[in-house]
Amino acid sequence: MHYGNVIVGPFDTGAMKKLAIIGDNVNVASRIESSNKEFGTNMLLSEEAYQKVRDTYPRSNVYETTLKGKTGKYKLYELMS
């Protein structure tokens, strides 16, 4: 799960019509979702997403990793109940 700006709009190729969501933040969310396999988790949040819920979920496991196609290290959070 990630939090950030994206572009949302209709995608129409004539035969196919759907709503499309594009942008770098969509790619980051996809890379974070793929990290679940690496850590054996079900749902991970980016730093940006965790900042939105940290008061409600103050306990979390924190993982640091790289994301494919991105530079630097990313902190990912697994919420604890």
Tell me how far apart the terminal alpha carbons of the chain are, to the nearest angstrom.
17
Bin 5: left if φ > 0, else alpha if -120 < ψ < 50, else beta: beta
Write the pLDDT tens digit of every residue in 51-63: 999 999 999 999 9
Q: What are phi and psi of 80, to 5 degrees?
A: -115, 140
The CA distance from 5 to 72, in Å, is: 20
Tell me how far apart the alpha carbons of residues 3 and 7 are, in angstroms, rounded to a whole number.
13
pLDDT digits (tens, 9 = 90+) for 20-46: 999 999 999 999 999 999 999 999 999
User: pTM of this prediction?
Assistant: 0.86
**Predicted pLDDT at 16:** 87
Beta strand 74-79 with 17-22 is unpaired
